[in-house]
Chains A and B, each alone.
Chain A
Amino acid sequence: EAGVAQSPRYKIIEKRQSVAFWCNPISGHATLYWYQQILGQGPKLLIQFQNNGVVDDSQLPKDRFSAERLKGVDSTLKIQPAKLEDSAVYLCASSPMGNDRGGVKTQYFGPGTRLLVL
């Protein structure tokens, strides 16, 4: 079974530029998450989709970040305009519709996109 795919793996941009990241979840996984991981910290949730609907975007800086999952499969995360503090790894994760044993969803992560804003 193929894992979560993300591209690009690395991106370097200058502040105030725009950037977009792409994620393709594991086939059949209804829930998709975008996390931001700043160097030396644990990942922090930005946005969560259930199929093509947003479940939680309370921590997404909506003045500059946007995300969509139009057909309920792959997703894009955009930053416009980028700031220096956006330098981080952006992780995409997915989980299946149903729960694993014990009533919990296990999330499976992609390799991440490492963003450097100069």
Chain B
Amino acid sequence: AQKVTQAQTEISVVEKEDVTLDCVYETRDTTYYLFWYKQPPSGELVFLIRRNSFDEQNEISGRYSWNFQKSTSSFNFTITASQVVDSAVYFCALSRGSLAPGRRALTFGSGTRLQVQP
């Protein structure tokens, strides 16, 4: 069975602080896909990044960076110099690679609520 754990329920930081959101996953598949989504107060899930299990290169996009470590089954997300607009709920999700592409629905973690105070 697949499982995604986001142990941090809520994080509060002051603007310009760096913050890391943790994600630990479980899967028996050797090929799988990891995602991060942002859910602002408006409710819409906004896609941030995907990562394939065979590509362990870390990625940086502006103030966002992702650290994928298969050895610890973790896919952590860091926001550098946080801003008030980063306040949202962030979800980590997992998709099975063993299934046909049309059947790869997402298994989500419970989310981490990030509050950035001015």
Contact = CB atoms under 8 A, between A and B. Distances in A.
Contacts, number: 69
Size class of the A contact interface (CB-based, 8 Å): 20 to 34
B102 interface: yes
Contacts of A112: 43-44
A30 B105 CA distance: 14
B62 interface: no
Interface stretch (B13-21, B47-55, B71-79, B80-88): B47-55
Interface of A: 3, 30-31, 33, 40-45, 48, 50, 55-56, 89, 91, 93, 99-100, 102-112, 114
28 contacts: A33-B105, A40-B111, A41-B110, A42-B4, A42-B91, A42-B110, A42-B111, A43-B108, A44-B108, A48-B103, A48-B105, A50-B102, A55-B103, A100-B50, A103-B52, A104-B50, A104-B52, A104-B104, A105-B102, A107-B47, A107-B106, A109-B44, A109-B45, A109-B46, A109-B47, A112-B43, A112-B44, A114-B43
